[in-house]
A and B are shown apart, each in its own frame.
Chain A
Amino acid sequence: AQSVAQPEDQVNVAEGNPLTVKCTYSVSGNPYLFWYVQYPNRGLQFLLKYITGDNLVKGSYGFEAEFNKSQTSFHLKKPSALVSDSALYFCAVRDSGGSYIPTFGRGTSLIVHP
């Protein structure tokens, strides 16, 4: 079985400050991990993924995420938040030995205040 937890329903940050959106996962084998962003009335947009290799993954719009195997975490980060980053963020995981179907978390609403 595979599952994802996003412990925060909402994250508030001031523009220009660093942001972190948390994600922890559970899989039987090796994890493939993903972050997607959803703007209002829009579909999900792919941000980044971890398959293998460097634990720090860089993605779109200046976002990055760090894979931590011992803590089973894959937190999303950005050094300096923009008001336009305000959106819903979804973490997802799939087992590398399983099907191509990821399991998504419930999402975290990021609000960046001017």
Chain B
Amino acid sequence: GAGVSQTPSNKVTEKGKYVELRCDPISGHTALYWYRQSLGQGPEFLIYFQGTGAADDSGLPNDRFFAVRPEGSVSTLKIQRTERGDSAVYLCASSSRDRDTQYFGPGTRLTVL
């Protein structure tokens, strides 16, 4: 079946601009996670949704970052006033009842010039 998909695969933007990154989880998966992966690092947790609500947003670095999942399926990560330090690969993952097995998407590579 279809895995986790993320769009766009690459996004280049200018400092100060607003960007939206989209994640389509595996159908039926109720849990959805966003991570950020910088070069040479492991994934760093950003936010976790259970259904439509953010169960844990403790990883969001500041109030420029926001994520939604209005219908409990697709999620959008929104970054306002982008900074060069936001450049990274943004990974999305989803899981079913077994929260300890996460299925990752291919990621969106964000470059802020």
Contacts and interface: CB of A to CB of B under 8 A. Distances in A.
Q: Do A and B bind each other?
A: yes
A100 B99 contact: yes
Contacts of B93: 43-44
B103 A46 contact: yes
B1 interface: no
Nearest to B9: A41
Contacts of A92: 42
A103 B20 CA distance: 25
Interface in A42-63: 42-46, 49, 51
B104 A106 contact: no
B91 A43 contact: yes
Contacts of B56: 99, 101
A44 B41 contact: no
B91 A100 contact: no
B92 to A, nearest CB: 8
B42 A49 contact: no
B42 A100 contact: no
A90 B91 contact: no
Interface in A33-92: 34, 36, 41-46, 49, 51, 90, 92
Nearest to B92: A43
A46 B103 CA distance: 7
A106 B41 contact: yes
Contact of B42 (A41, A45, A101, A105): A105
B63 interface: no
A25 interface: no
B110 interface: no
A46 B3 CA distance: 13
Interface string B88-105: 000101010001111111
A100 B47 CA distance: 11
A102 B48 CA distance: 11
A51 B99 CA distance: 12
B25 interface: no
A-B pairs, top 10 by smallest CB distance, nearest first, are: A104-B42, A43-B104, A100-B99, A44-B104, A43-B106, A104-B43, A101-B45, A43-B105, A90-B42, A106-B42
